[in-house]
């Protein structure tokens, strides 16, 4: 596998994951009551706790996107 294929792969992984992160954040911003309504049918969880859990999920997902997509892509771009 050559360097150009790896750069392209990590670039598209980064774009897709950032798009999913933005979509999830916008969905949470505009439809958090609806999302809580769906999940409260499965789990009996207070709304405040659900907000904390979802906020942590978005933060961890963002960190994983940085570590496993963006940083390798930047490293490959800097390599040449």
Determine the pLDDT at residue 1: 76
Q: Are 69 and 10 in contact (CB under 8 A)?
A: yes
CB 7 within 8 A of CB 13: no
Burial group, residue 22, by CB count within 10 angstroms (0-12, 13-18, 19+)? exposed
Torsion angle in degrees (nearest 10) through CA of 75, 65, 12, 3: 20
Per-run averaged pLDDT (10 residues), the chain, 80 residues: 93 98 96 92 92 95 98 94
């Amino acid at each position: 596998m050559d360097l150009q294929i790896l750069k392209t792969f990590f670039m598209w992984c980064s774009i897709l994951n950032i798009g999913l992160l933005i979509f999830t954040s916008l969905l949470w911003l505009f439809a958090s009551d609806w999302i809580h309504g769906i999940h409260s049918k499965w789990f009996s969880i207070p709304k405040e706790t659900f907000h904390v859990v979802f906020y942590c999920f978005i933060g961890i997902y963002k960190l994983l996107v940085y570590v496993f997509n963006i940083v390798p892509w930047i490293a490959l771009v800097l390599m040449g």
